[in-house]
Structure 1
């Protein structure tokens, strides 16, 4: 199982970074994992801004040479793991901009003329590991599960990825947030997960 880990937090002293390290540690000990690649969007200085003009047309995004390296990461991966905080009820803008730019038509999906396109990333799986300041059930009760609906249905199902698992950890700025227990849960999951 080739595994791509995409990290979207600007601070390597953050709790999100500790979750990233536990994801990597678990995957490194997992006999099902053939190879791991880590893509740190902030370290990469990834530009999340879409540009369309006379030189950059939306219909050509799937072939933009600036993004080929990232498309190759996605093609290569059997499993994609996203590690990010939830800010304002959704992932950071840099991660959504990555999806905007890389998951382009004729790469991640193809129009069939009907209501829904054909997803071109079938067979891959996704795990989302996210942290937030508020209570764990805040997105469900206050935001009608907007985070999961966005990531699972609006993005991943749209491009053909049907198996999506979420770890949403709340109260992460509280000293009673049980950080060690949550970090260990992530480590144990990725040490044993198979596709």
Structure 2
């Protein structure tokens, strides 16, 4: 059975993103996938990479568990809004802290990066208040490119597909329901084409005690 990890990256539990996560997960389960959902707003962790990459920063237990979920997944889905051409600080902090150098990626002797999470596919679903011609034409699709190319593909995941939902501001209940149906269909179709990789499962990091965090 293929394993799908869905990451809810919106700070608000009543958001459209949260509803999209629920519908995608339901669709994937209907198609036979084993689904785990990580809700970032419910995790306890420091969103700041306090010393950049100059020193280790021990992972909180929730981030250790998140790394374990990423290792176990065959397919990873990130659902987030586009804010100021980027993603919420909550998601950026999660990525900064969780996708550690030496764990999610490393640099070869020639200076080129090597993704260490290969063997997994991914999908990025973003909501936006901007029309498509503005988001993709004038703004360069910055948030989607950040997530697909600079993060997930960089760490070895491929293919990475993208779905854009909008314009959200001023949308009708009927329009929102059509987006929810669309994402449910995506969950089913992604689950059907995601093979159970049968890959080796590296042991997740040992969870630190509260005193050590």
Which TM class, normalised by the smaller chain length? 0.7 to 0.9
Structure 2 residues without counterparts, runs of 5 or longer: 195-213
**Which residue of structure 1 lines up, in the alignment, with residue 104 of structure 2?**
108
TM-score when normalising by structure 2? 0.81
* Deviation of 1:116 (Å): 1.9
Of 185, 188, 195, which residue of structure 2 is paired with 1:188?
185
Q: Is the 8 A contact 1:118 1:160 kept in 2?
A: yes
- Find runs of 4+ consecutive structure 1 residues off by over 3 angstroms: 57-61
- The superposition leaves residues 148-190 of structure 1 with CA deviations (integer Å, 9 ceiling, x where unpaired) of 2211221122111121111111211223582121111110111
Q: CA deviation at 1:115?
A: 3.7
Aligned pairs (5 A) from 1:48-87: 48-52=47-51, 58=54, 60=56, 64-66=58-60, 67-87=63-83
Which residue is 1:170 aligned to?
166
**Structure-2 change in CA distance of 1:158 and 1:179 (3 Å):** same
TM-score (norm 1): 0.88
5+ residue gaps, structure 1: none
Residues 35-77 of structure 1 deviation map (CA, whole Å, 9 limit, x = unaligned): 2111111111442111229xxx74545xx34232221111111
Name the SS of the counterpart of 1:137 in structure 2: helix
Alignment correspondent of 2:145:
149
Deviation string 1:87-122 (CA, Å, 9 cap, x unpaired) is 111111111111111111110011112242111010
Q: Are 1:109 and 1:120, in contact at CA under 8 Å, matched by a contact in 2?
A: yes
Equivalents in 1 of 2:90, 2:31: separation in Å? 29
Corresponding residue pairs, total: 188
